[in-house]
Structure 1
Amino acid sequence: MTSTDTAYQLSPDTASSLVEKLIHKLLHNDDTSGEFLLPLPDGRVIDTKGWSGWEWTHGIALYALFEHHLLTASSSSLHIIHDWFRDRFAEGGTTKNINTMAALLSLAFLYESSPTSHPEYKQHLIEWAEWVTNDLPRTEEGGFQHITYELENKGQLWDDTLMMTVLPLAKIGKVLGVERYVEEAKYQFCVHIKYLYDAKTGLWFHGWTFEGRHHFAEAHWARGNCWITLAIPLLFHILGEEDDDLKDRDSFFARHLVGTLEAQLDALVPLQDEKTGLWHTLLRYKDSYVESSATAGFAAGTFLALRFGLIKDDTKKSKYSKMADQALKGVVGMIAEDGQVQQTSFGTAMGHDLDFYRNIAITPMPYGQALALLAIVEKMALSQTAAG
Structure 2
Amino acid sequence: MGCNQILDRYIEQLIETSTPQAPAWNIEKIRAGKENTWNYIDGCMIKALIELYEITGEQRYLTFADDYIDFFVQDDGTIKHYNPEEYNLDNVNAGKTLYKLYDLVGKPKYRAAMDTIYRQLETQPRTKEGVFWHKAVYPNQIWLDGMYMAQPFYMQYELSFHNRRACSDSFHMFQVVHDLMRNPLNGLYYHAYDASRKQFWCDPVTGLSANFWLRAEGWFAMALIDTWELMPPSMSAEKDEIRKMFHDLIDAMLPYQDEKTGMWHQVINLPNIAPNYLEESGSAIFANAIMKGVRLGVLGERYYQYGRRAFDGICETCLSEYDGQLALDNICLVAGLGNTAHREGTFDYYMSEPVVKNDAKGVAPLVLAYIETMHHDKLAGKRDPLAPSGVCSIEDPFGGYTPGINAHKGCE
Give the alignment's TM-score, normalised by structure 2.
0.78
Among 110, 127, 130, which residue is 1:121 paired with?
110
Runs of 4+ displaced beyond 4 Å? 30-35
**Residue in 1 that maps onto 2:38:** 54
**Residue in 2 that maps onto 1:360:** 353
In structure 2, C-alpha distance between the alignment counterparts of 1:183 and 1:73, rounded to whole Å: 35
Contact kept? 1:158, 1:207, Cα under 8 Å:
yes
In structure 1, C-alpha distance between the alignment counterparts of 2:207 and 2:91, rounded to whole Å: 24
Q: Give 3-state SS (helix, strand or coil) of 1:179's partner.
A: coil
Contact kept? 1:23, 1:369, Cα under 8 Å:
no
Q: Give 3-state SS (helix, strand or coil) of 2:4's partner.
A: helix
Contact kept? 1:108, 1:175, Cα under 8 Å:
no
Tell me, yes or no, if structure 1 residue 89 matches structure 2 residue 73.
Answer: yes
Q: Given residue 134 of structure 2, which amino acid in structure 1 is its aligned partner? A: H
More helix by share: 1
| Match runs of 1:148-167 below 5 Å | 152-167=137-152
Q: Given residue 68 of structure 2, which amino acid in structure 1 is its aligned partner? A: W
Deviation at 1:232, TM superposition (A): 1.6
**Residue in 2 that maps onto 1:346:** 333
Q: 1:33 to 1:146 in 2, by over 3 A?
A: closer
Tell me, yes or no, if structure 1 residue 100 matches structure 2 residue 91.
Answer: yes
Among 316, 322, 340, which residue is 2:305 paired with?
322
Q: Given residue 322 of structure 1, which amino acid in structure 2 is its aligned partner? A: Q
Deviation at 1:68, TM superposition (A): 0.7
Q: Give 3-state SS (helix, strand or coil) of 2:239's partner.
A: helix
**Residue in 2 that maps onto 1:336:** 320
Runs of 5+ unmatched residues, structure 1 = 1-10, 39-44
| Match runs of 1:255-270 below 5 Å | 255-270=240-255
Tell me, yes or no, if structure 1 residue 204 matches structure 2 residue 195.
Answer: no
Q: Give 3-state SS (helix, strand or coil) of 1:339's partner.
A: strand
Runs of 5+ unmatched residues, structure 2 = 198-204, 338-342, 383-412
| Match runs of 1:163-312 below 5 Å | 163-212=148-197, 214-239=206-231, 242-245=232-235, 248=236, 251=237, 253-286=238-271, 287=273, 288-312=276-300
Cα distance per residue 1:93-127 (max 9 Å; x no partner): 4123210110001112222345xx20111111112
Q: 1:282 to 1:14 in 2, by over 3 A?
A: closer
Cα distance per residue 1:222-264 (max 9 Å; x no partner): 001111222222112223xx4411xx3xx2x222212211221
Give the alignment's TM-score, normalised by structure 1.
0.83
In structure 1, C-alpha distance between the alignment counterparts of 2:80 and 2:38, rounded to whole Å: 11
Q: Given residue 149 of structure 2, which amino acid in structure 1 is its aligned partner? A: M
Q: Given residue 24 of structure 2, which amino acid in structure 1 is its aligned partner? A: N
Cα distance per residue 1:317-364 (max 9 Å; x no partner): 41x222111101111121222332110001221242221111111013
Q: Which segment is superposed worse, 83-92 or 345-354?
A: 83-92
Q: Give 3-state SS (helix, strand or coil) of 1:174's partner.
A: helix
Contact kept? 1:302, 1:321, Cα under 8 Å:
yes
In structure 2, C-alpha distance between the alignment counterparts of 1:74 and 1:181, rounded to whole Å: 36
Q: Give 3-state SS (helix, strand or coil) of 1:336's partner.
A: strand
Q: Give 3-state SS (helix, strand or coil) of 1:273's partner.
A: coil
